[in-house]
Amino acid sequence: MTDAVGSIDTPDAQDEVAESKKKTRKGGKRAKKGPLKRLALFYRQVIAELRKVVWPTRNQLTTYTTVVIVFVVIMIALVTVIDYGLNHAAKYVFG
- pLDDT tier, 76 (very low <50, low <70, confident <90, very high otherwise): very high
SS3 per-residue string spanning 33-94: CCHHHHHHHHHHHHHHHHHHCCCCCHHHHHHHHHHHHHHHHHHHHHHHHHHHHHHHHHHHHH
Backbone phi and psi for residue 27, each to the nearest 5 degrees, phi listed first: 90, -45
d(C-alpha 20, C-alpha 25), whole Å: 13
Q: Please answer whether residues 93 and 86 qualify as being in contact, where contact means their C-beta atoms are separated by less than 8 angstroms.
A: no
Tell whether the model's pLDDT for residue 11 goes beyond 70: no
Query: Region 84-88: what's the mean pLDDT?
Result: 97
Q: For position 83, what pLDDT does the model report?
A: 98
Q: For position 33, what pLDDT does the model report?
A: 80
